[in-house]
Amino acid sequence: MFKKPNCPVIAIEEHYWDPELIKTYVGAEGSRGGDMEKKLFDLGALRLKEMDEAGIDIAVLSHGAPSTQKLPIETAAKLATEVNDRLAKACAANPSRFAAFAALPTIDPQAAADELERCVTKLGFKGAMLHGMTNNEFLDLKKYWPIYERAEKLDVPIYFHPSQPHQTVTDIYLQDYAKDFPLVVRPGWGYTVETATQAIRLVLSGVFEKHPNLKIILGHLGETLPFLMWRIDAALKRPGQKAMSFRDVFCKNFYITTSGFFSNPALLCCVMEMGVDHILFAVDWPFVDNPPATDWMKDIPLSDEDKAKILSGNSKRLLKM
């Protein structure tokens, strides 16, 4: 039987599917089948039962990839609004157990900024989650900055979640092995490269100079970036480039979560590079089961005080819960 730690447990990368949004997906992204689909569509008893069994008190819910990042401009804003309204209803039915990250119609950046504000001020959402490219563009381009300006003004984080890499990247880098190892395109490697690239591009873009209090969350223990911090920082300080401290920006503006990555050596690397205050607990349910995540947290080689920060103290502060 799971023994609860002496603090609440808040998991912040917990996914669901909206039945209307999912109808717009094509191919593999829109079909998981069987038990997985049942869990993704459940916003009640089944989800709560699995949270209870693993000792998770609160789940911050977000749509699965690619969420609203692949919608055409004609329908994106309207559909995102409906998706967020339905999610708000699910949270209202279990207000002590669920909170939410908004889906945003990024193809229309101004509408995305407005929808973020509506979700935070009217629906009580905790920020937004974005999934990979929009129209084959990374989201650090200046045209998307209205979203970051609004997030900074509202003081809510934007969670950058993986999605499928650009098709050309997949074709050249990974396709040879995708038949025998389909997940090499996803969590096996493709997702990591895609999302780490997005994060590095955000730092290089200068958006944190314009919006110094913008807060970004990365899942999966920072998508390798804490491990690479020293090397990236050193490289970007070599002569002939714009002055830049990757480390300063990453350690101040970025937060990382434990989603789908329950490794002591990797966690300790993150703690040593970033400090414990920017590390938050997440599972990545239902793509990852809850019990391995909470079981792992019981025995991580950190003090009880630091464990409590990761399990909920840091989310309470960052998400104002």
As measured in angstroms, the least distance from the Cβ of 13 to Zn ion is 5
Q: Which residues pair with 272 in a beta bridge?
A: none
Nearer to Zn ion, 273 or 284 (CB): 284
Q: How far is the CB of 175 from Zn ion (least distance, A)?
A: 23
Residue 13 vs 152, nearer CB to Zn ion: 13
| Nearest-angstrom CA–CA distance, 236 and 246 | 7
Q: Is 94 exposed, middle or buried (0-12, 13-18, 19+ CB in 10 A)?
A: middle
CB of 31 to Zn ion, least distance (A): 17
DSSP 40-63: HH--SHHHHHHHHHHT--EEEEEE
Residue whose CB is less far from Zn ion, 77 or 83: 83
Compute the least distance from the CB of residue 66 to Zn ion, in Å.
11
With CB atoms as reference, the residue minimizing the distance to Zn ion is 284
Complex with Zn ion: residue 13 or 223, whichever CB lies closer: 13
Tell the smallest beta-carbon distance from residue 245 to Zn ion (Å): 29
- C-alpha span between 128 and 132 (Å, rounded): 13
Rounded Cα distance, 215 and 218, in Å: 10
The smaller minimum CB distance to Zn ion, of residues 51 and 113, is found at 51
CA atoms within 13 A on the CB side of 296: 20
Number of other CB atoms surrounding residue 252 within 10 Å: 15
Active-site annotation holds for 42: no
Largest Cα span, the chain: 58
**DSSP one-letter code for 7:** S
Determine contact, residues 140/198, Cβ cutoff 8 Å.
yes
In the bound complex, what is the minimum distance in angstroms from residue 224's beta carbon to Zn ion? 16
- C-alpha distances in Å from residue 59, one per residue of 20, 55, 90, 215, 273: 22, 11, 12, 20, 27
CA Rg value for the chain: 19
Report the residue number, 208 or 281, with the smaller CB distance to Zn ion.
281
When the beta carbons of 108 and 284 are compared against Zn ion, the nearer one is: 284
Q: Are 283 and 262 in contact (CB under 8 A)?
A: no
168, 158, 172, 169: which is closest to 192 by C-alpha?
169
- In angstroms, the CA 261 to CA 284 distance is 9
Closest contact distance (angstroms) between CB of 261 and Zn ion is 11
Catalytic residue, from 18, 114, 233, 284: name it.
284
Residues that bind Zn ion (CB under 5 A): 13, 284
Query: Which residues are catalytically annotated?
Result: 284
